[in-house]
Amino acid sequence: MAITRSDTGIVGYGAYIPRFRIADSEIARVWAGGGSGPVEGKAVAGTDEDTITMAIEAGRNALRRAQLDGAQLGTVWIGSESHPYAVKPSGTLVAEALGCRPTVHAADWEFACKAGTEALTAGMGMVSSGLVEYALAVGADTAQGRPGDALEYTAAAGAAAMIIGSSAKALATIDATVSYVTDTPDFFRRADRPYPVHGNRFTGEPAYFHHIEAAATELLHEIGAEPGDFRYLVLHQPNAKFPQVAAKQLGFRPEQVAPGLLAPRIGNTYSAAALLGLCATLDITEVGERIMLVSYGSGAGADAYALTATEHLGQARDRAPRTSVYLAREQSVDYATYARMRGKYNLG
Amino acid sequence: MELAKHWRLKGARYRLEGARDRRTNTITFPPPHFSGPDDELVILSGRGEIWSWSAVENGLDAWGGRYLVALVKLVEGPLVTAQLTDVDPDAVHIGQPVEMVTRKLRDLGEDGLLVYGYKFRPLLE
């Protein structure tokens, strides 16, 4: 599905990253007798944090940048694969915390790591059709990784919130989007199971790379653009290597990817990963510069977007903490503390 | 399970809903159980400073064992008792600027409610 004409844009954005970090070398010390992993370390939610609390802080930051009150939001949509309840929406609680009216539309979305951009595309539809003036779409996760599994080295925590509104008020217009999905079983978690399973190398070529590259290529084709037309590229980032390889294969240069590449420092924040990369990129983008954003969710699919920064972005970015503020407040923890924070001890 | 009790407190817990007396302009937080005819709801900013604090060394398991608790003087006036989060004991001081964050307060067990509400942390730079 390609939408090549859009009168919507991002009117507010907000990041959240917990302050705790565990180094991959610390995980490797416990499970592999030493060594390293696919990222330097990953962000870990504290014992009092989860998808709901992180979504609330990211949402508050987005409202500040948009200079909106929660009561003005028409939707509060939370995309995640780690909603705290199996049955009981995260969206209602987030909506109340943001000061929304009870007449807001609140819901939870699920599509592995692209649940947040699903809500973003749906929000574009709600705003474009005039059904709501502002739509809030959040991607947030406290990702699960089985102890000792490859996923444990990257499965991280974070949240990013986007408020969609008319392009006239936008900090960045959303000029076009393409969604590309196939049934590809690269990663899944059955109901009531605590940890997901993954297809090891099968998660690469037929899954991440195929969908990201197909969505991005289709978007470029639809809008008649080339990689060089974009100042920045932000990709879903399950590790440090995948997005850099995909960017190169698409014809983008490393400096286009660098500002939005957070995975080497904080790991894979799942539903938040691409949107957090977008937050970090919007923090530095100048008026008129274009950004390509491509999310990826296992199962599998990718959403690609073309955005252009407007003259409103510069004055909005410091109304809330920049992504770099959250990146900088690192508190490193050892494996034993991390295991407690993630509830991995069986207390009998 | 005290579901109704937690539900009744959500305005104060989730968004610092307090009460303002229109005659005296006095702000009360949490709002009184029975508001008077001159009371109106007001959302507090969540900004304030640490008025006093202490470490609870032997806290209830449900509260996460050891934790820091503070009396926070909100910019609107009220003094609020709350846990501190994202801060180490050696980095806390009286007069420190803090801001409200919404966090998980209690987990009432596998078949119980997750209780959310306000805590305070040092103001992000």
Q: Do B64 and A99 count as a contact with CB atoms less than 8 A apart? A: no
Closest CA to A26 of A341, A334, A239, A264: A334
Radius of gyration of chain B (CA): 15
Better-scored residue on pLDDT, A348 or A93: A93
Closest CA to A319 of A100, A81, A87, A12: A12
pLDDT at B33: 78
pLDDT at A3: 87
In a domain, A204, yes or no: yes
Q: How many domains does chain A have?
A: 2
Quick check: bond before B19 cis, omega within 30?
A: no
Hey, which residues of A are catalytic here? 81, 113, 236
Residue B72: HSE in the Cβ half-sphere, 13 Å Cα cutoff: 34
Q: Which residues contact A22 (CB under 8 A, 6 or more apart)?
A: A41, A42, A44, A332, A333, A334, A335, A338
Please check the confidence at residue B125 and state whether its pLDDT lies above 90: no
Domain shared by A129 and A200, yes or no: no
Please check the confidence at residue A326 and state whether its pLDDT lies above 90: yes
Residue keyed to tokens 């999905």:
A181
Q: Do A49 and B43 count as a contact with CB atoms less than 8 A apart? A: no
pLDDT band with cut points at 50, 70 and 90 for residue A91:
very high
Interface of A with B in 146-185 (CB under 8 A): none
Query: Kindly report the CA angle at A269 between A47 and B92, in degrees rounded to 5?
Result: 40
Residues in B touching A53 (Cβ below 8 Å): 101-104, 116
Residues A247 and A210 sit within 8 Å (Cβ to Cβ): no
In a domain, A2, yes or no: no
Model pLDDT for residues A301-316, shown as the tens digit of each residue: 999 999 999 999 999 9
In a domain, A347, yes or no: no
Q: What percent of chain A has pLDDT over 70?
A: 100
In a domain, A80, yes or no: yes
pLDDT band with cut points at 50, 70 and 90 for residue B61:
low
Domain shared by A309 and A326, yes or no: no
Domain shared by A239 and A154, yes or no: no
Domain shared by A20 and A162, yes or no: yes
Better-scored residue on pLDDT, B75 or B63: B75
Give the CATH number, domain containing residue A307.
3.40.47.10
- Write the burial class of residue A304 (CB in 10 Å: 0-12 exposed, 13-18 middle, 19+ buried): buried
Domain shared by A230 and A84, yes or no: no
Domain shared by A216 and A279, yes or no: yes
Model pLDDT for residues A92-147, shown as the tens digit of each residue: 999 999 999 999 999 999 999 999 999 999 999 999 999 999 999 999 999 999 99
Domain shared by A67 and A29, yes or no: yes
Please check the confidence at residue A348 and state whether its pLDDT lies above 90: no
pLDDT at B62: 58
Q: Do A46 and B86 count as a contact with CB atoms less than 8 A apart? A: yes
Write out the DSSP string of A62-86: HHHHHT--GGG-SEEEEE-S--S-S
In a domain, A214, yes or no: yes
Q: Is A101 on the interface with B (CB under 8 A)?
A: no
Please check the confidence at residue B64 and state whether its pLDDT lies above 70: no
Please check the confidence at residue A244 and state whether its pLDDT lies above 90: yes
Model pLDDT for residues A155-214, shown as the tens digit of each residue: 999 999 999 999 999 999 999 999 999 999 999 999 889 999 998 888 999 999 999 999
Domain shared by A164 and A45, yes or no: yes
Of the listed ranges A17-26, A239-248, B27-36, the least confidently predicted one is B27-36
In a domain, A291, yes or no: yes
How far does B37 lie from chain A, in Å, by closest CA? 23
Of the listed ranges A171-180, A251-260, B33-42, B75-84, the least confidently predicted one is B33-42
Per the structure, the complete domain to which residue A60 belongs is given by 7-169+321-341
Domain shared by A135 and A184, yes or no: no
In a domain, A346, yes or no: no
Domain shared by A236 and A194, yes or no: yes
Better-scored residue on pLDDT, A297 or A191: A297
pLDDT at A216: 98
How far does B117 lie from chain A, in Å, by closest CA? 9
Residues in A touching B85 (Cβ below 8 Å): 46, 48
pLDDT at B27: 94
Domain shared by A294 and A176, yes or no: yes
Q: What percent of chain A has pLDDT over 90?
A: 95
Query: Residues A334-348: what's their mean pLDDT?
Result: 91
Q: Do B103 and A325 count as a contact with CB atoms less than 8 A apart? A: no
In a domain, A1, yes or no: no
Domain shared by A163 and A178, yes or no: no
Please check the confidence at residue A76 and state whether its pLDDT lies above 80: yes
- In this structure, chain A runs to a length of 348
Residues in B touching A19 (Cβ below 8 Å): 86
Model pLDDT for residues A25-75, shown as the tens digit of each residue: 999 999 999 999 999 999 999 999 999 999 999 999 999 999 999 999 999
